[in-house]
Structure 1
Amino acid sequence: MSNKNLQLATFGGGCFWCTEAIFQEIKGVEKVVSGYSGGNVPGHPTYREICSGLTGHAEVIQIEFDTNIISYEDILVIFMTTHDPTTLNKQGGDIGTQYRSVIYYHDEAQNEIAKIVVKEVSPYYEAAIVTEISPLDIFYEAEKEHQDYYRNNQEQGYCSFVITPKLSKLRKLHADKLK
């Protein structure tokens, strides 16, 4: 018998390899799946199609987390402080609508919490936050090679130069939330 109280959260903050690696480190996060959401073309998109920027989808992660261990609000604070929510369609060298900062809410309670968190963290940024807050329509799981990317490819340049520093920032800002 399980005492878990599981919820889903879906958001994107640049490359899904980065956000996936961050949330795999968080206490209470049971599962992290990289994928795509928010597009305007029919059918299951591919990574190649997403990278074109023409489908309207964002690279996102969908996490399953236990609210007995971590709240949705804490999840969003970690999200908002481990990427740059002030750059439109850009995270570092990753440029395009597929890299936008976005929170896809699953219900009205998540929508309200997202608005509150964005407002609460905004004074910590010099520029205005451009994070989109939208209802989740459909989440498409990314291809197998994009799952657990950092864990399986730490030696690659992108992982070393982009993801590892984000993990260092996570460890500095949110040490109390780590597994």
Structure 2
Amino acid sequence: MIEKIAFGGGCHWCTEAVFQSLIGVEIVEQGFVASTGANDTFSEAVVVHFDKEKISLRELLTIHLHTHASTSEHRMRVKYRSAVYAFSAAQIDQVNSELAVLRKDFEKKLVIKVLPFRAFRPSEEQFRIYYYNDPEKPFCKTYIQPKLDRIAGKFPDKLKNRS
């Protein structure tokens, strides 16, 4: 069964490539997500459509936490909100439950927010599939490839074969 959830953390080019590289992730929509209340502005994020029979929500959360600055409250957090955007109250509960367990893997406090999904605005076409369209770009080699290398080192069984 295909489910969806949205993630924000760093630039959406990086986040998109991370999730596109994973077994069980069927679609990654790159763009901007807004929530409600104090988080109602759009922030860079991706909507991930995944097959929960092939990759679990916990695995997605774990990889997300390890591929962005999930313990750093830096000056760019408005643009790069560290967040999980849930599509239902039940999904919010599930994410909070999983994060309660995953927090133990980090020495510093996680800054990630669990928020209700409100709206999505896609990136311009020319910026989508950014990494896989040209992995030799300097930005890709400097910022995205190290994240993919981290996944290969920590979660090698979750990577799609892209050869």
In structure 2, stretches of 5+ residues that fail to align are none
Q: In structure 1, how many angstroms separate the alpha carbons of the residues matched to 2:111 and 2:138? A: 28
> TM-score, normalised on structure 1?
0.81
- The sequence identity of aligned pairs, in percent, is 32
1:85 aligns with: 70
Alignment of structure 1 residues 55-134 onto 2, 5 Å: 56-89=41-74, 95-134=76-115
Q: Which runs of 4+ in 1 moved over 3 A?
A: none
1:142 aligns with: 123
Q: Secondary structure at the match of 1:11?
A: strand
**Partner deviation per Cα, 1:6-28 (whole Å, 9 max, x = no partner):** 11110101101111111111111
Residues 7 and 67 in structure 1, CA contact (< 8 A), matched pair in contact too? yes
Matched, 1:157 2:132: no
Q: In structure 2, how many angstroms separate the alpha carbons of the residues matched to 1:154 and 1:175? A: 19
Compared CA separation, residues 137 and 89, structure 1 to 2 (3 A): farther
Q: In structure 1, how many angstroms separate the alpha carbons of the residues matched to 2:57 and 2:148? A: 20
Residues 34 and 141 in structure 1, CA contact (< 8 A), matched pair in contact too? yes
Matched, 1:20 2:16: yes
- 1:96 to partner: Cα distance: 4.2
Residues 35 and 115 in structure 2, CA contact (< 8 A), matched pair in contact too? no
Residues 89 and 100 in structure 1, CA contact (< 8 A), matched pair in contact too? no
RMSD: 1.7
> TM-score, normalised on structure 2?
0.88
In structure 1, stretches of 5+ residues that fail to align are 41-54
Residues 73 and 113 in structure 1, CA contact (< 8 A), matched pair in contact too? no
Report the residue type matching 2:18 in the other structure. Answer: I
Q: Secondary structure at the match of 1:97?
A: coil
Residues 38 and 138 in structure 1, CA contact (< 8 A), matched pair in contact too? yes
- 1:156 to partner: Cα distance: 1.9
**Partner deviation per Cα, 1:142-175 (whole Å, 9 max, x = no partner):** 1111210011232222111111111000111111
Q: In structure 2, how many angstroms separate the alpha carbons of the residues matched to 1:118 and 1:84? A: 15
1:35 aligns with: 31
Report the residue type matching 2:33 in the other structure. Answer: S
What is the total number of aligned residue pairs between the two structures?
Answer: 157
